[in-house]
Structure 1
């Protein structure tokens, strides 16, 4: 019973409840929304956001932020798309895309750790640089006519379930166990929780912050490959503004903007919610331009709630420390 009670207090559980309520409420208006086919499609359509949210979680856990992921997605998708369009192999396109994300992530990480640039400013600058690089690389044109075998990857099914969906879900579970159960995996949250304390106990803070940015960049590139496979073409605005949705998804899933708190499972559930909101609006026949307004409103509400929860936790900790000091004083007297 105590385990059940403890589970219900987890941020991830509250996010899961929110997701279920979203489907139930919209399903009451339009029963097609809760059909098995639509639920599977909602999961498939959210893969892009899940992959990005997992990468964002690594960075947020360390107390930093990465808003260059949308541009990394666009550039990686464009470069790999050109390689594939011109007859290159899928393996080569994947390797080049991952290298692009890794290099950009490395630059972000070194800028934050070595040059002591704010992660917001560093990744904002990188966002603009990468966007211009993409336009220059494609001459401002869309990348089209991708080979069918590449586009078929996103449509492959196993037992009626999309293969990419299975792979991404398994990867999220494995990463969750790594971050929560391994000593080195817990370093990311430890850095965000108390960076000075992490330094004192010997955690290589700068190294793990760089690793977090590299992981974010690599996963943004993988998201770019998924995007290219699902859509079949890459525009010059691919991934534009997606970073705000991803941040909202991660925070909605219980990842704190202050660092040190959260899980990739929660972030993945938050990503499904943010993706499902778009399709919910379609089923509710709400104009598409409300998507951005709703996402922005959710982000504000989530951030305010996160700040209030953090303040409440700090007040509780101070109260416990004060009570402990008072008890110790009474015992001494």
Structure 2
């Protein structure tokens, strides 16, 4: 029973449980939702959100936020697609896209950590700038006619699992190991939990915050390249509002918006949930114009339920600690009383002699 309790105290398990319930619930209504092809489609569709959520986790753990990732994804997709269409080497195009994403993240990080611009303002401003640059770069036109070899890469499978999804899972595992095992990996949560305390113990807070935004931009640029490969074209609206999905995925996975709490595994599960919801609405034949409303409603319900569940466990644990302290205090008082009685008896006996 204690083991089960400890398992369900983890936010990632709550998110995973909801994902399973979602598949089973929709599967009862439409069995096609739980067949191998449908599940494979959900896994493939979640790749973009997983990469965005991985990068966003770094930023959220420090107590910041990055709403520019949609623009970063769009410009990275446009630049890499244009280069590849023009005959450039794919690896060169990917490298340039990653440099662009990292540079955008660097500007965000410096603005937040050094100049002290509020994260939401800095990244929102950067989103507008990047969107404008993208439209100028593409002249407002679609980037189409990409080579078949580039588009077919998104269809490649290993053991019937999409290669991009495997790459996303490997990235998630490596980042989670970094967070849990590496000393610097633990700095991000420490900064978000207590910035002043982190600085006092010698953590280079400004440096780590900048790194967090650089990694967020880097992950967004990788997602942009994958988007171009999966879809086969890039529009001037590519990536619009996708930052909200990335943030929602992290929150669903248990990452705190106030910083200091969460894991990249939970964020990736949240990304799977967001993708599964979109797919479920199709199988349930819900009109597409309801998608945003239903997503928002489910997000609120899940987060509120998660907060209530974990608040219950925290309150219960707090009561147990207070009870243990009270018992310890009673025991100490009793021991002190017994000691006083013993001392008094000894003194009385000695005077009697």
TM-score, normalised via structure 1 length? 0.93
Contact in 2 for aligned 1:58/1:212 (Cα 8 Å):
yes
Count of residue pairs brought into register by the alignment = 333
| 2:9 and 2:313 in contact (8 A); partners too | no
Equivalent residue number for residue 137 of structure 1? 137
Q: Say yes or no: does 1:64 pair with 2:83.
A: no
Q: Is 1:295 aligned to 2:295, yes or no?
A: yes
Separation of aligned partners in 1, 2:309 and 2:23? 26
Moved more, 3-12 or 155-164: 3-12
Moved over 6 A (4+): 309-319, 325-330
Report the counterpart of residue 233 of structure 2 in structure 1: 233
> Contact 1:144–1:234 at 8 Å: present in 2 too?
yes
The alpha-carbon distance between structure 1 residues 314 and 64, as it changes in their structure 2 partners (threshold 3 A), is farther
SS at match of 1:53: helix
Q: Which whole-Å CA distance do the structure 1 matches of 2:307 and 2:5 have between them?
A: 24
Mapped partners of 1:310, 1:8: distance in 2 = 9
Partner of 1:146: 146
| 1:288-327 alignment, distance < 5 Å | 288-302=288-302, 304=304
Is the partner of 1:289 in helix, strand or coil?
Answer: helix
Larger Rg, first or second structure (1 or 2): 2
Q: Is the 8 A contact 1:19 1:273 kept in 2?
A: yes
Q: Tell me the C-alpha RMSD between the 2 structures.
A: 2.3
Cα distance between partner residues in 2 of 1:199 and 1:258? 18
Preserved contact between residue 154 and residue 164 of structure 1 (Cα < 8 Å):
yes
Could you give the per-residue CA deviations for residues 66-108 of structure 1, whole angstroms, max 9, x where no partner exists?
0000010000000111101111110111011000100000000
Matched, 1:155 2:155: yes
Please, what TM-score do these two structures have when normalized by structure 2?
0.88
- Match of 2:64, SS? coil
Which residue of structure 1 aligns with residue 349 of structure 2?
none
In structure 2, distance between residues paired with 1:28 and 1:322: 46
Q: Give 1:310 shift.
A: 8.0
Structure 1 residue 296, shift from structure 2 partner: 2.2
The equivalent residue for 2:212 is: 212
1:1-333, aligned counterparts within 5 Å? 2-302=2-302, 304=304
Gaps (5+ residues) in structure 2? 338-353
8 Å contact from structure 1 (residues 248, 298) kept in 2: no
